Structure 1
Amino acid sequence: MCGIAGIIHTEGLKPVDPDRVRRMCDAIAHRGPDGEGVWTAPGVGLGHRRLSIIDLAGSPQPMMAAEGDAMIVFNGEIYNFKDLRAELQALGATFRTDGDTEVILQAWRHWGVDCLPRLHGMFAFALYDLRQRTTLLVRDRFGVKPLFTARLSDGAVIFGSELKALLAHPSLRREIDPLAVEDYLAWGYVPDHRSILKGVEKLPAGHYQLLRPDAPPPAPVQWWDISFADRAKGNADDLGAHLLHHMRDAVTSRMLSDVPLGAFLSGGVDSSSVVALMAEASTTPVKTCSIGFDVSALDETAYADRIAEQFHTQHWKRTVSADDFTLVDKLAGMFDEPFADASALPTFRVCELAREHVTVALSGDGADEAFAGYRRQTFQHREEQARSFLPAVLRKPLFGGLGAIWPKADWAPRPLRAKTTLLSLAASGEEGYARALAATSPELRETLYSPDFKRLRGEYRAEQPLIELMRNAPARSGLDRAQYADLKFYMPGDILTKVDRTSMAVSLEAREPLLDHRLVEFGARLPESMRVRGTTGKWLIKQTMRRYLPEDVLFRPKMGFVTPIAQWLRGPLASQARGLAASGALAATGWFDSARIEGLAEDHIAGRADHSRLIWQLLMLRKSFDRLG
């Protein structure tokens, strides 16, 4: 795991200042404390920060091909590199190192862009071909590894693993994109189709971009996509056997490391499954780490303890206290863009704990998206069944009218909180799922904006790209489309961003075996009844893992990382909540109704309502603006 950065001139072979590339790399030094390197040639400069995982002494970067005709900087891991190496050697390739970086170079030399589907793993890389004077920018299938790009006024393209690498270049404009603010307030993160700064882009997951000399940067090309269009045949036993094979292969392939390796263990189905399969494949105790809370209602460490005891792991745990709000500023600095998933705080803490004992940690991320583990997906499945019985001409007035007058009762028992469900049933499946996925509804956002912001935003609404993505998905059902949206939109924007930034902040490599693309492709072909059965999501995984895990771990309600931000915003962070719209870069924009935000903050602090999620979003937005200003 590493950090990469560079400068590519697309308007002539202008010289590149190596010190400028070095400063970009220094901004992301936390991603690679074990080594650094910069290489320049007319028109190109590539920089690298290394976290040594494989071939510790033998694979420095930037790396030149043995033939001297290609150079690469690479962030990630190729898990099948040994098989590819043997195949390339049979074709006449020669190797000077024992790592995976050189395998990418030779794969490019022999197969060109057709090498990409052969690469199994997580990766973002820039490869400069000295023969053609072209630069290939690539991002892995799911977007596990990030890659930011921007075109400067002189025609140069700059790139980096994090936005802070681009911010280190003096020519980058720092103009906030109001459409990104609309996106952020809708979702709680800035999705991959946009950046908080105008002119900065994120290379989409599963895409590449080939930059040529004396030509403007072309649009990214998609080299991989997930399809839900086909269905596998077989009974639960047969499909479960195939599933277990894929899971075992995914886990064991990610256990290859020349440095200490362990796993995150929350005590949930996914991380427990990964630990169980690691223990099965390992001859030594698996190293595991978990985080708990000093608020008993939020603490799950008892389940993690049980799994650690069952599989005889070497287990460490740490408690996040209620005063961990002191990390808020540090958290904002990790993400550069505003990021409001409050579980980033305990995720950072578990990464911090893991780094004290290992350099690589396996996580359980990806299974909820791939196998329908989120409650919103099971709701969507049932709502689509309801939509199939009632045509839209009846649903819209009936459910829309009820939803409009139904009170928003977040405080009430769950069966009485029907407003969102009613509004969802009144809409199309895609519109309903966008509402379920959103952190704030379009109606609420509308009350926050000033007239000036509404003019800047125009007709754009954050839900539009998601709805279009779902409507064009290679899918057969509403559940398929919901999972497609989670894999393509929510996961890279939120989950993978969170894990990448928090793990890299402490120089820890996180690996996601349940995002092995062959495993996910298998999950996408499963019949709906093997994914959702009644109110149970991830049904086949849970049935398959019964031979390893206890029932109360498999079938207890999903919690995930929860933080006590509502209490913080009524206590130690109350003054920051009150001052949100009164001062700082957020207030300076003139984009928000300060009286409205002040009223929401006071209602929350007084305990009259729970606006913690929205206030947290606005707080993180302000901190991001203050840093970017």
Structure 2
Amino acid sequence: MCGITGLVASDTLAPTERAALSAMRDVLTHRGPDDSGRYVDAHAALGHRRLSVLDLSTGRQPISNENGTIWVVFNGEIYNHRRLRDELIARGHRFATRGDTEVIVHLYEERGDDFLDALHGMFALALWDAPRQRLLLARDRLGVKPLYYHVDARRIVFGSELKSVLEAPGVPHEIDPVALADYLAFGFVPSPRTILRRICKLRPGQCLNYERGRLRLRTWWDLHHRPWRTDSAESLSEELWGTLEAATRDRLVADVPIGVFLSGGVDSTCVAAAAADAFGAAGMLTTCTVGFDNSATDERAAARRLASRLQNRHLEHAVAVRPSELLPRLAWHFDEPFADPSALPFFALCEAVRGDLTVALSGDGGDEALAGYRRYRFDVWEQRIRKLAPGWVRRPLFGTMARLYPDRADLPQPLRARTTLNNLSAGGDSAHARSVARLDAAGVRSLLAPDIATLTRGHDPWEHMRGLYRACDADDHLARCQYVDLRFELADGILTKVDRASMAHGLEVRSPFMDHRVADFVAGLPWQWKLNGWRKKFMLIDAYRDLLPPILHNRPKRGFEVPVGPWMRGPLNGMVRELIAADRCFFGTILDRDGALVMLDEHTRGRADNNYCLWALVSLLAWQQEHAREVAVA
């Protein structure tokens, strides 16, 4: 993994722009602590920070072709680079390194922009074609690696993180009210927006061409759904396991210590099992587990049993998650407000294991690929009911029932039926958006100061998800919901968390479930092969039933469960109250101070469960303290 950055001008780079390259590059040192490099000509400046994983002695970037006319900076891994290298050598190309990055320049010489189709991996890259004065930016199929950019009248600025782009002279620092509304609705800012106006994120599977001042964006990959497979469940389970094994083997190539995050759940256990098989006689696989001070979320015992069964070298770390200490660090590394509290324990996990590993495999993406979330069962059940009655019957019937149903956070989970009733009154696209989003447009505006609420009137954050639902070419509702989550919540939420928290410590995280071959395989499965009654991921479990202990077959899903509610009533209550009252905070100009205090009081007294809203506000204020003291509101 690495950090990349740069500028390209349609005329010539100004001296201040060339001078800024060092700051743009070195603010990414945490992503690449091992080395740095740069390339500068009259029109382009490329910078690179390196985390050495492959070809430790000769893999320095930027890297060029034989005559120095094409240059690339690259963040990520190309897992099929050896095969591509052999093909290119057979066609007469000469290589100066043994790593994966040099493959890109020669492949571009052969295929032009279509070279992206040949790459299997996770990456963000910038390629400069000097004779054509043409910059290509590209992001991997599923959005594992990030890439930000800013375009103005005469140049483009790009970087692996927002902070790198902001180091360039003349880049505006203005909060985008629409992006702020999106953040409050989802807990993250969906691409292509960022929290700052006129700075964008490249979307997953998207590339950008900038040539002599002209900009063109295109989607070079998307997930397409084929006619359903009709093979037997047994053969499909075997094929799924074979695909996951191949993806895991590809991700075990490294010249540095490598291991697996083992939580005790199905996804990480299967990754660890596939990795252990791939290691074979070559050596013992290392697995890592972190235990936290909250016993309810401590999975060390389960992971220890699984590691013993796999005969791994197993490492355990115990850490304490102290939100008041971690929040400022997360805010600096994430660059944008981010309201998923599981970022705290994951950040602590990455920090703890960095002394043991440089590369770690994870089970991220397994729930999206294999319909592991509880909400998918309700998505399917609700869609069946929708088909029984037309909209003109469902909307008034279930809508009225939802309005009359008590909105009580203290009710047991099975009795909190208001969301389900609202979903039954809506279409499938809006219903899934309600299941994923944390707030609707009205809820967002209730947190905003009046002037900002006015600026966002007419914007519905849920339209992001509805648009993806409509764009999906699948025929069944479950596949459309999975597609939305893959392109939206996973790409902009979970993968953002994984990238920032791991790269903050110079740790590379790879997930076999994020291999596009896994996504393509699952896209051809009928929904019945993903959900079988209340059994989840049964195809994966059946494929490796002999390895997985019986308790894991129907084990309830557990993630990093963070006790936000008790924090807000206890150790964080005073800090939050002070933040809301402070003059230097956003309250009054961007956020509604009085409403936030009422929300905190209701939560403290147990009258309402305002966990999410309070955490979103605290995360936003932590971001302000680290990044936005001088930021204007657009």
| Smaller-chain TM-score bracket | over 0.9
Matches within 5 A, 1:408-423: 408-423=407-422
Query: Given the alignment of the two structures, is residue 269 of structure 1 paired with residue 273 of structure 2, yes or no?
Result: no
Moved more, 618-627 or 254-263: 618-627
Query: Given the alignment of the two structures, is residue 34 of structure 1 paired with residue 31 of structure 2, yes or no?
Result: no
How far the C-alpha of 1:209 sits from its partner, in A, is: 0.6
In structure 2, the partner of 1:243 is: 240
Query: Given the alignment of the two structures, is residue 624 of structure 1 paired with residue 623 of structure 2, yes or no?
Result: yes
In structure 2, the partner of 1:25 is: 25
Extract unaligned runs of 5+ from structure 2: 630-634
AA of the residue aligned to 2:177: P
How far the C-alpha of 1:11 sits from its partner, in A, is: 4.1
User: Counterpart of 2:193 in 1: which secondary structure?
Assistant: coil
Structure 1, residues 288-332: CA drift from partner, whole Å, max 9, x if none?
A: 111222222222222111111111222222234364542111111
Query: Given the alignment of the two structures, is residue 221 of structure 1 paired with residue 218 of structure 2, yes or no?
Result: yes
Matches within 5 A, 1:431-442: 431-442=430-441
How far the C-alpha of 1:459 sits from its partner, in A, is: 0.6
User: Counterpart of 2:4 in 1: which secondary structure?
Assistant: strand
Matches within 5 A, 1:441-460: 441-460=440-459
Q: Take 1:584 and 1:80, find their aligned partners in 2: how far apart are those partners?
A: 54
Alignment check: 8 A CA contact 2:79 2:120 kept: yes
Matches within 5 A, 1:566-605: 566-583=565-582, 586-587=585-586, 590-605=589-604
User: Counterpart of 1:547 in 2: which secondary structure?
Assistant: coil
In structure 2, the partner of 1:280 is: 277
In structure 2, the partner of 1:606 is: 605
Moved more, 430-439 or 619-628: 619-628
TM-score normalised by length of structure 2:
0.96
In structure 1, the partner of 2:109 is: 109
Q: Take 1:471 and 1:280, find their aligned partners in 2: how far apart are those partners?
A: 41
Alignment check: 8 A CA contact 1:339 1:617 kept: yes
Alignment check: 8 A CA contact 1:578 1:602 kept: no
Structure 1, residues 199-225: CA drift from partner, whole Å, max 9, x if none?
A: 000011101111101x3322x210000
Q: Take 1:464 and 1:566, find their aligned partners in 2: how far apart are those partners?
A: 29
Q: Take 1:11 and 1:576, find their aligned partners in 2: how far apart are those partners?
A: 50
Q: Take 1:309 and 1:555, find their aligned partners in 2: how far apart are those partners?
A: 20
Q: Take 1:407 and 1:193, find their aligned partners in 2: how far apart are those partners?
A: 37
Structure 1 pair 469/199, CA: closer, same or farther in 2 (3 Å)?
A: same
How far the C-alpha of 1:542 sits from its partner, in A, is: 2.1
AA of the residue aligned to 1:333: W
Q: Take 2:472 and 2:362, find their aligned partners in 1: how far apart are those partners?
A: 27
User: Counterpart of 1:31 in 2: which secondary structure?
Assistant: coil
In structure 1, the partner of 2:122 is: 122
In structure 1, the partner of 2:405 is: 406
User: Counterpart of 1:29 in 2: which secondary structure?
Assistant: coil
Q: Take 1:323 and 1:451, find their aligned partners in 2: how far apart are those partners?
A: 34
Q: Take 2:471 and 2:528, find their aligned partners in 1: how far apart are those partners?
A: 23
Alignment check: 8 A CA contact 2:47 2:62 kept: yes
AA of the residue aligned to 2:64: M
In structure 2, the partner of 1:260 is: 257
Moved more, 221-230 or 486-495: 221-230
- Percent identity, please: 41
AA of the residue aligned to 1:68: G
AA of the residue aligned to 2:107: A
How far the C-alpha of 1:356 sits from its partner, in A, is: 0.9
User: Counterpart of 1:291 in 2: which secondary structure?
Assistant: strand
Extract unaligned runs of 5+ from structure 1: none
In structure 1, the partner of 2:359 is: 360
Moved more, 65-74 or 580-589: 580-589
How far the C-alpha of 1:433 sits from its partner, in A, is: 0.5
Structure 1, residues 365-396: CA drift from partner, whole Å, max 9, x if none?
A: 11111111111122111111111111111111
Alignment check: 8 A CA contact 2:40 2:46 kept: yes
Query: Given the alignment of the two structures, is residue 469 of structure 1 paired with residue 486 of structure 2, yes or no?
Result: no
In structure 1, the partner of 2:293 is: 294
In structure 1, the partner of 2:208 is: 209
TM-score normalised by length of structure 1:
0.97
In structure 1, the partner of 2:632 is: none
AA of the residue aligned to 1:261: I
Q: Take 1:410 and 1:524, find their aligned partners in 2: how far apart are those partners?
A: 36
Alignment check: 8 A CA contact 2:205 2:222 kept: yes
Alignment check: 8 A CA contact 1:10 1:217 kept: no
Alignment check: 8 A CA contact 2:127 2:136 kept: yes
Structure 1 pair 592/624, CA: closer, same or farther in 2 (3 Å)?
A: same
Structure 1, residues 255-314: CA drift from partner, whole Å, max 9, x if none?
A: 000011001111111011100111111132211111222222222222111111111222
Alignment check: 8 A CA contact 1:229 1:476 kept: no
How far the C-alpha of 1:443 sits from its partner, in A, is: 3.8
Query: Given the alignment of the two structures, is residue 553 of structure 1 paired with residue 552 of structure 2, yes or no?
Result: yes
Q: Take 1:321 and 1:30, find their aligned partners in 2: how far apart are those partners?
A: 23
How far the C-alpha of 1:229 sits from its partner, in A, is: 4.2
User: Counterpart of 2:542 in 1: which secondary structure?
Assistant: helix
Q: Take 2:214 and 2:347, find their aligned partners in 1: how far apart are those partners?
A: 39
AA of the residue aligned to 1:210: N
Q: Take 2:296 and 2:98, find their aligned partners in 1: how far apart are those partners?
A: 49
Q: Take 1:579 and 1:601, find their aligned partners in 2: how far apart are those partners?
A: 12
In structure 2, the partner of 1:97 is: 97
Moved more, 143-152 or 573-582: 573-582
User: Counterpart of 2:30 in 1: which secondary structure?
Assistant: helix
AA of the residue aligned to 1:272: T
Matches within 5 A, 1:470-509: 470-509=469-508
How far the C-alpha of 1:13 sits from its partner, in A, is: 6.3
AA of the residue aligned to 1:372: A
Alignment check: 8 A CA contact 2:321 2:344 kept: no
How far the C-alpha of 1:571 sits from its partner, in A, is: 1.8
In structure 1, the partner of 2:88 is: 88
AA of the residue aligned to 1:242: E
Alignment check: 8 A CA contact 1:542 1:554 kept: yes
Structure 1 pair 621/13, CA: closer, same or farther in 2 (3 Å)?
A: closer
Alignment check: 8 A CA contact 1:8 1:45 kept: yes
User: Counterpart of 1:30 in 2: which secondary structure?
Assistant: coil
Q: Take 1:16 and 1:254, find their aligned partners in 2: how far apart are those partners?
A: 41
Structure 1, residues 113-133: CA drift from partner, whole Å, max 9, x if none?
A: 111010000000100012212
User: Counterpart of 1:123 in 2: which secondary structure?
Assistant: strand
Structure 1, residues 397-433: CA drift from partner, whole Å, max 9, x if none?
A: 1111111121222222122100111111111000000
Alignment check: 8 A CA contact 2:17 2:169 kept: no
